Structure 1
Amino acid sequence: MLNIADTLHAWCREARPFALATIVQVSGSAPLPPGTSLAVNADGEAAGSLSGGCVEGAVYELCTQVLEDHGPPARARFGYSADDAFAVGLTCGGEIDVLVQRVDPTDRPHLTAALDEIAHGRPAAVAQVVDGPEDLLGRTLSLLGDDGAYEGTLRGENEDRAVVARTRAQLRAGRTAVIDVGGDPDTCPERLSILVHVHAAPPRMLIFGAVDFAAALSQAGSFLGYRVTVCDARPVFATAARFPYADEVVVDWPHRYLAATDVDARTAVCVLTHDAKFDIPLLALALSLPVAYIGAMGSRRTHEDRDRRLRETGVTTAQLTRLNSPIGLDLGAHTPEETAISITAEIIARTHQATGLPLSQGIGPIHRPDPTGPVPARAARTAA
């Protein structure tokens, strides 16, 4: 849904009914994750994509039918058929389950409220029933803010409370995912599958060291949807003019800034100073924090010296396994721009628990279940 949030926001504000087709389950190799949507309004205008073209025509027809007939939500499955190469399906060999439903914004003001929050760059989540009793299929409620109130209802207070608790957890984690709720007679007796569409604050990339590599990395990180901070203790180098793609440039000792700022399980820490007086206290602290990625620049000799110094400060072997040093994948990078690609490629691979190997050398599906949720889209930051 959030891949077309801007369009849905405009249609909701204009009170234009539309049909919403959403991927609710993926099996095997499929191009896009659960939560991705395609929508069609009464004028036949379409927004979004579910497969990069393989099944768009068939889904468009389903949307048109549901919209015109005012019918109940419907689920459809699309997969590759080896027996009929001309059948509608995914050429990549995977399968997707799609929920198609009619949405009238006047009946769901909470959806407009959530899209308003998203348009202004604030956290919000929409919980959508994708499997369960027929009368609940497609129902939604919205959560505004990490710990804010919710709007809309599924059936009753118990069901809503159970869904809201899980939705808040997904919002804090910054992950769009399908969750199972219910089966408890005292809270939510009916078992429901809920697709939680999450728009969280963008994850942070903390770059320490106001060097040329940091300028290129800040641009690459911004492109990937991170909120980028560049920090250096030297005011002559740490200037906004040198880092136009950074969201903020901070003049402070790196370890002192890291101790005072907010980080979470999606934060990437990139240490580019390769200067022991900055690196050692900074990395000793970073390796004790629950962040997603920690990398440090330097030669292999620098790494060996850094490893020894960190151990002397009390950093454990288990903690040191979290340190990616020398930073980046082996791409043969030389320029700052190439190095930035090397570093961000490693961050992506670590984030999604992938190998970083060429796809031509791998086996099995190219698209695998994502353990962390979708990579944040740059478009989601335009109003931040």
Structure 2
Amino acid sequence: MLDIAGSVDGWLGQGRDFAVATVVGVSGSAPREPGAALAVDREGAAVGSVSGGCVEGAVYELCRQALEDGRPVRESFGYSDETAFAVGLTCGGVIDVLVVPVRAGGPERTVVASALSAVRSGEPVALARVVDGPAELLGHGLVVRPDGSYEGTLDGQGPLTRSASAQARAMLDAGRTGTVVLGGDETNPGRPLTLLVEVRVTPPRMIVFGAVDFAAALVRLGKYLGYHVTVCDARPVFATRARFPEADDVVADWPHRYLEATEVDHRTVLCVLTHDARFDVPLLERALRSPVAYVGAMGSRRTHEDRLARLRESGLSEREIGRLRSPIGLDLGARTPEGTAVSIVAEIIAERHGGTGLPLTGTRLPIHRDGERLPPPRPRPVASTAAHRSA
């Protein structure tokens, strides 16, 4: 539900009643992941999506019904020959959807309002809701913050509430949306129940080093993908807000010095577009020893080989150097800054989700691998973009 927080928050502010349908389980090839949501208000207005169009009509009607009778409902939608083009997923997958009415005076409204308030304020937050279990708990949930404080309850201050808040906080710390099972053991006897924990954390960072034309295109795509984008260049005349109006931050500083001073984590991606040894080598020495998710550097094959030699001379190990993606990007045949930016973000997405970078045509790998990471193929194909061939 947090993926449509902006629209639903507006409805709350206007005092509207609405119902939210959330994807709570997926199997096979399905277009949306757990947490994807569709909301419908009393007037019939709808925002969001749970299936990319396959079952929207049926889910819309479930939302209208939930608003009328005030009862949550869980429903599965899957492929069948009879209903493939009516109610079902023609792609062959199955999705489970939980529909919860959010009406004035209801306990769900308080929890939803608290979660949306945190999102509006830019605070990390986890929304944990019961998606399978006793009927009286279906749709009930908690809002959990990084310090462990929470709002809402499953059993007062009992073991289920404490366990749910602890599990949600752990998933918030990991920045991961998913399901957890509680109860049915010695600690929490009784029927097990399943929680969907939706997490909203601060955006991951993309730091683009080198205030060049390729950087401007990459900033636009980085913002589109939800990154907090910083452009850094040692030349103040080029590192200006006028040149990069869409960047969150524009920094005039030596790249290696800025990297040492700024905060990065396992979600950060670094794109080095300077292809100048004065900047690249000291920057990459630090970047390849940092915990970031991705380090890519632009340059020709000749520049790349010279860069590798300098990095080895600086004392980096082969394992550290092996983290470097250079020449940066996938081989798309791109020549323009915009096309090159697409090739770079395509490689970042593939690295993040375990993609091969190969055409789906002719491959037998699952299209959706539920977050499973696969090692990138080696050897990597020869890049052919003009940017890669530049010295």
Please state how far the C-alpha of 1:178 moved relative to its aligned partner: 1.9
Q: Distance in 2 between matches of 1:23 and 1:74?
A: 12
Amino acid at match of 1:16: R
Other-structure match for 1:381: none
Q: Distance in 1 between matches of 2:256 and 2:372?
A: 30
Other-structure match for 1:379: none
Q: Distance in 2 between matches of 1:230 and 1:119?
A: 26
Distance 1:126 1:273, change over 3 A: same
Matched residue count: 370
Q: How does 1:319-338 map to 2 (within 5 A)?
A: 319-338=320-339
Q: Distance in 1 between matches of 2:7 and 2:217?
A: 32
Q: Tell me, yes or no, if structure 1 residue 311 matches structure 2 residue 296.
A: no
Amino acid at match of 1:114: A
Please state how far the C-alpha of 1:301 moved relative to its aligned partner: 1.7
Contact 1:222 1:228 in 2 (8 A): yes
Q: How does 1:161-240 map to 2 (within 5 A)?
A: 161-186=162-187, 191-240=192-241
Other-structure match for 2:385: none
Other-structure match for 2:384: none
Contact 1:183 1:190 in 2 (8 A): yes
Q: Tell me, yes or no, if structure 1 residue 97 matches structure 2 residue 96.
A: yes
Q: Distance in 2 between matches of 1:271 and 1:233?
A: 13
Amino acid at match of 1:92: C
Please state how far the C-alpha of 1:38 moved relative to its aligned partner: 1.2
Q: Distance in 2 between matches of 1:297 and 1:189?
A: 58
Q: Name the stretch that deviates more: 253-262 or 188-197.
A: 188-197
Percent of paired sites with the same residue:
61
Please state how far the C-alpha of 1:17 moved relative to its aligned partner: 2.7
Structure 1 unaligned residues grouped into runs of 5+: 373-384
Q: How does 1:7-18 map to 2 (within 5 A)?
A: 7-18=7-18
Q: Distance in 2 between matches of 1:110 and 1:94?
A: 31
Please state how far the C-alpha of 1:351 moved relative to its aligned partner: 1.0
Distance 1:136 1:314, change over 3 A: farther
Contact 1:136 1:155 in 2 (8 A): no
TM score, norm. by length of structure 1: 0.90
Partner SS state of residue 242, structure 2: helix
TM score, norm. by length of structure 2: 0.88
Partner SS state of residue 335, structure 2: coil
Amino acid at match of 2:94: E
Q: Name the stretch that deviates more: 27-36 or 284-293.
A: 284-293
Q: How does 1:1-384 map to 2 (within 5 A)?
A: 1-71=1-71, 73-82=72-81, 85-106=84-105, 107=107, 108-144=109-145, 146-147=146-147, 149-157=149-157, 158-186=159-187, 191-371=192-372
Structure 2 unaligned residues grouped into runs of 5+: 374-391
For residues 332-353 of structure 1, give each alpha carbon's deviation from its aligned partner in whole angstroms, at most 9, with x where no partner exists. Answer: 1222111111101111111111
Q: Distance in 2 between matches of 1:176 and 1:286?
A: 28
Partner SS state of residue 24, structure 1: strand
Distance 1:182 1:232, change over 3 A: farther
Q: Name the stretch that deviates more: 48-57 or 340-349.
A: 48-57
Distance 1:188 1:255, change over 3 A: farther
Q: Which fold has the larger relative contact order, with Cα–Cα distance below 8 Å and residues 6 or more apart in sequence?
A: 1
For residues 177-205 of structure 1, give each alpha carbon's deviation from its aligned partner in whole angstroms, at most 9, with x where no partner exists. Answer: 22334455346876432211122111100
Contact 1:328 1:345 in 2 (8 A): yes
Q: Distance in 1 between matches of 2:349 and 2:232?
A: 22
Contact 2:148 2:165 in 1 (8 A): no
Amino acid at match of 2:24: V
